[in-house]
Amino acid sequence: MNDLVGSNDIVTDDVPVLQSATLLFVDDEPNIVSSLRRLFRPLGYKILTANNGEEGLAVLEQNSVYLVISDMRMPVMDGATFLAKAAERWPDTMRILLTGYADMESTISAINQGKIYKYFSKPWEDNDITLG
């Protein structure tokens, strides 16, 4: 059994679901952050938030984070730049990009630069993002 699995964690198909893990949501829209918090908190995760990429990097410096979900378009530092910097400094942290626009070239570039695990378009399907 994987050492990361604790007594409160669930194992499905031999893959641990780290319910005690910390998630970071980075978005400049408070309603998006609130929606993500409502979606993931009942699953047992610790939730941290930031309003932009610069704040997100500061949160990552102070906390061990399992998963980052970041918006693409934000002031100060966009999601692509933020996730690329996060990938350089914390390569083991999983990264997901949320994008509200259909510029596939920018999205693909962000995925490659930030070594992003997945991306979801806004609005997302709750089941897709929680199982993603």
Residue 21 lies in a domain: yes
Q: What digits encode the pLDDT tens for the residues 83-111?
A: 999 999 999 999 988 887 656 666 666 66
Q: How confident is the model at residue 72 (pLDDT cuts 50, 70, 90)?
A: confident
Distance CA 61, CA 96 (A): 18
Give the model's pLDDT for residue 89. Answer: 95
Residues of the chain with pLDDT > 90, as a percent, come to: 41
DSSP conformation class of 67 = E
Q: What digits encode the pLDDT tens for the residues 8-30?
A: 333 334 444 545 789 999 999 99
Residue 5 lies in a domain: no
What does the CA dihedral 23, 106, 57, 2 come to, rounded to 10 degrees?
A: 40
- CA 67 to mean position of chain CA atoms: 5
Domain that holds residue 23: 10-131
Residue 4 lies in a domain: no
> How many domains, in total, are found in the chain?
1
Give the chain's mean pLDDT. 77
Per-position b or e across 84-95, b if 16+ CB within 10 A of its CB: bbbbeebeebbb
Contacts (Cβ under 8 Å, ≥6 apart) of 24: 48, 49, 50, 56, 59, 60, 63, 65, 67, 68, 69
Helices H, strands E: what count in the chain?
5, 7
CATH of the domain at 39: 3.40.50.2300
Residue 3 lies in a domain: no
Residue 1 lies in a domain: no
